[in-house]
Amino acid sequence: MATTSPSDAPKPTPSSLSGSDIDAPGGRPVIALAGNPNSGKTSVFNALTGLRRKVGNYPGITVDRVEGDLLLSDGRKARLVDLPGCYSLLPRGEDERLARGVLLGLDPRLPEPSAVIAVLDASNLERNLYFATQLLDMRVPLVVALNMTDVAEERGVPVDAAALEAALGVPVVPVSGRTGANAHALREALTRAAAPGRLWSLSADGETALDTLVQAIRAEGVLPERIVEAEAVRLLFHGTDASAYGGIVGTVQAQLDDAGVDRLALEAECRYLFCRDVARKARNDKDPQGPSRSERVDRLLTHRILGPIVFLGVMATMFLAVFAGADEAMGAVEAATGWLQGLVTEHLGEGMLRDLLVDGVIAGVGNVLIFLPQICILFLFLAVLEDLGYMARAAFLIDRLMRGVGLSGKAFVPLMSSFACAIPGIMSARTIESRRDRLVTILVAPLMSCSARLPVYVLLIGAFIPAGMQSLTMLSMYLLSIVAALGVAFVLRRTLFKGEESPFILELPPYRRPIVKTVIRTVTGKGWVFVREAGTIILAISVLLWFLAYFPKDDSLSAEAAQRIEAGEDETVVADWEASAQLEQSYVGRLGHAIEPVIAPLGHDWKTGVGLIASFAAREVLVSTLGVIHSVGEADEESVSLRERMRAETKPDGSPVHTPLTSISLMVFFVLACQCMSTLAVVKRETNSWRWPIFMLVYMTVLAYVASLVVYQGGLALGFGP
């Protein structure tokens, strides 16, 4: 195979652009910023625009282009468009499609860019140059911003910008996105942007085939001359429509295939040969020396065996902190709730309003707010781990498992996001190009244990699981969610969604010290969302649920209670009996009893059944619902601890209603069931069909029911009852 070295390359033709030519018909010139993920593109964007960013949404596409004002060296303002970071400009994923569309001037929302700034990571030069060759193919006026030169220097392989400029035939400016250094020089360089065209070359067979295609495209006269060759390269190596251009695409592809040429490998090899040659020149024939510190740490943390062990250890420590570290704060919130209930009881005359405030509003919202300290601890850990760079390693470990079950590598972003909430997870599945892979990811994302399940776990674990087992139980719930998601994906990929999986490149960012400000912002942000939910929808549902638990009133029960008190029975006992009897015949009581036969085999009573139905609005509503039901159903308004009330609840035969076994059965149900209307609505929107949300609801409910049944009945059979 013959390849062309930079010295053999055709002489770069100077771009037609000059300072005054950076122009756009009917508006400000557009400058596009392109580069690999992790090349520091966003930092260069911020340095050039002074962080004046606005986000332009592309309907139906999650990946955005970000736009800002760029002051050109002649004083004019240009639009700087930050394209999504991508490894290739082949239109496979939405991000690549978007970037390619803008660069080729095919995006109806933007004029063709007057120039493109390619941000290259100097510490990963070969891989970044691969992307640059694709930009060069497109004959866009190009300037290279050489970023992270300090990292390259630290690794002992400084990059000579002048040598790189000579090899590529476009201006190369070393910049620091972090400090903003040389941003001015980059602006200046835009006036010298050049479009030398394709610099790498193919084998003789390849060049002949390419030339045939170029002639065919040119003959049709539809595409502008500038992009003819780039389109020919795409069609030759990645074209799927063999009949295009009168069948010439199929003919030239067949010629190469018949000659035993692996077309995909041919393109990659030729480009990489060129990139290696250029990189060697730019580094004055030096190669990177030894692994970096991050790479050394990664040898342990991403190790096939040690990696998962460390990961489980980190998770177990996190959950231990969630239980052990929040006791005092939870006690304080509990005490505050009790104090508020006492205050209202004391100062408001007996009546319906007092009952609503004490049993509905305070019991409902208070019992959810109690979990705020634990939510904050959990997100504190997650924010630190993410900022440290560890979450990307965790993703890497899970990615290995995901590919094992046939999930797309790109599914790791949606699945990791689903640990916070399934909705952003499902929406970020838009980055997966294959519809089949995307659907599988969407269908399993809600199985990942979202943060709304956390209060449910914490309530049940705190109340019924012995102290030494709490962290382990919590960890088990998270592991169950991962195993369930991977298991379902495995089944789906071998039944409904058969086919090849798509390739994916996962890059691990270097470790860094967590930034306190970022961590605090994440924790307060998540905490605030939790408080806002408690103060809005949970408050509203608690009020509505109180109505359903308070009405209708059966006067005969009140009369019977009065008679029993007159007869000398203990007033508190009778009051408790009346509250409980009234609740049983209320709307909520009737509903609960109606579904009790269905959930009784899982070990749950009718009150939990009502909670399960209410939790379709939001999972944490289970906690507020149980809070309201237990509060309305008991005359004692001083004790607010839901955990204590649940622990003390007994069946008519005196045995406890809730046990460790029933709580595990309930948690397993919560891990696997799809109790979230918002998730179903989003799946409907994303798949544009009711078929998939209904499928999801059915399979998850059946899975949850069966698993919960197996846990409870199996536990009973093994003697873990009652």
Q: C-beta of 390: minimal distance to other proteins in Å? A: 12
Cβ closest to other proteins, residue 195 vs residue 450: 450
Q: C-beta of 481: minimal distance to other proteins in Å? A: 18
Token representation of residue 460: 């049940």
Cβ closest to other proteins, residue 36 vs residue 470: 36
Integer-rounded Cα radius of gyration of the chain: 32
- 722: how many CB neighbours lie within 10 A of its CB? 11
Q: C-beta of 549: minimal distance to other proteins in Å? A: 13
Q: Which of the 8 DSSP states describes residue 361?
A: I
Cβ closest to other proteins, residue 57 vs residue 495: 57
Q: C-beta of 69: minimal distance to other proteins in Å? A: 20
Cβ closest to other proteins, residue 146 vs residue 661: 146
Q: Which residues contact 566 (CB under 8 A, 6 or more apart)?
A: none
Token representation of residue 568: 């000398």
Token representation of residue 238: 């990645």
Token representation of residue 529: 């969302």
Token representation of residue 542: 């608690």
* Contact predicate 481/448, CB 8 Å: yes
* Contact predicate 116/136, CB 8 Å: no
**In 50-93, alpha helices (H):** none
- 90: how many CB neighbours lie within 10 A of its CB? 16
How far apart, in whole angstroms, are the C-alpha atoms of residue 70 and residue 571?
78
Pairing of β 142-147 and β 172-174: parallel
Comparing C-alpha atoms, which of 675, 643, 658, 687 is closest to residue 327? 643
Q: C-beta of 373: minimal distance to other proteins in Å? A: 23
Rounded (5°) CA angle 5-11-14? 135
Q: C-beta of 40: minimal distance to other proteins in Å? A: 5
Q: C-beta of 561: minimal distance to other proteins in Å? A: 21
How far apart, in whole angstroms, are the C-alpha atoms of residue 327 and residue 54?
43
Cβ closest to other proteins, residue 215 vs residue 678: 678
Cβ closest to other proteins, residue 37 vs residue 338: 37
How far apart, in whole angstroms, are the C-alpha atoms of residue 395 and residue 482?
12
Q: Is 247 left (phi over 0), alpha (psi -120 to 50) or beta?
A: left
* Contact predicate 686/442, CB 8 Å: yes
Q: C-beta of 624: minimal distance to other proteins in Å? A: 13
In Å, what is the CA distance from 716 to each residue of 536, 617, 652? 40, 31, 20
How far apart, in whole angstroms, are the C-alpha atoms of residue 674 and residue 690?
15
Q: C-beta of 538: minimal distance to other proteins in Å? A: 11
Cβ closest to other proteins, residue 244 vs residue 420: 420
C-alpha 176: how far from chain center: 29
Check the CA dihedral 90-91-96-98 and report its sign: positive
Cβ closest to other proteins, residue 491 vs residue 544: 544
Comparing C-alpha atoms, which of 671, 670, 648, 673 is closest to residue 658? 648
Q: Which of the 8 DSSP states describes residue 449?
A: -
Which string of DSSP letters, residue by residue, matches 94-118? HHHHHHHHHHTT--TTSPPPSEEEE
Q: C-beta of 63: minimal distance to other proteins in Å? A: 6
Token representation of residue 643: 């955990």
Cβ closest to other proteins, residue 124 vs residue 191: 124
Cβ closest to other proteins, residue 112 vs residue 399: 399
For binding to other proteins (CB under 8 A), which residues are involved? Answer: 37-43, 55, 57, 62-64, 84-85, 95, 121, 148, 177-178, 349, 351-354, 356, 386-387, 389, 392, 395, 412-414, 416-417, 420-421, 423-425, 427-428, 430-431, 507, 509-510, 512, 515, 536-537, 539-541, 543-544, 547, 617, 678-679, 681-682, 684-685
Q: C-beta of 580: minimal distance to other proteins in Å? A: 22
Q: C-beta of 84: minimal distance to other proteins in Å? A: 7
* Contact predicate 604/667, CB 8 Å: no
How far apart, in whole angstroms, are the C-alpha atoms of residue 106 and residue 112?
8
Cβ closest to other proteins, residue 174 vs residue 239: 174
384 — phi, psi (to 5°)?
-65, -45
Cβ closest to other proteins, residue 494 vs residue 521: 521
Q: C-beta of 44: minimal distance to other proteins in Å? A: 8
Token representation of residue 249: 């695409």
How far apart, in whole angstroms, are the C-alpha atoms of residue 160 and residue 165?
9
Q: C-beta of 322: minimal distance to other proteins in Å? A: 22
Cβ closest to other proteins, residue 175 vs residue 270: 175
Cβ closest to other proteins, residue 387 vs residue 634: 387
Cβ closest to other proteins, residue 155 vs residue 647: 155
Q: C-beta of 465: minimal distance to other proteins in Å? A: 30
Cβ closest to other proteins, residue 536 vs residue 655: 536
In Å, what is the CA distance from 121 to each residue of 195, 273, 407, 546? 21, 18, 30, 60
Q: C-beta of 235: minimal distance to other proteins in Å? A: 27
Comparing C-alpha atoms, which of 502, 635, 486, 611 is closest to residue 557? 635
2 — phi, psi (to 5°)?
-95, 130
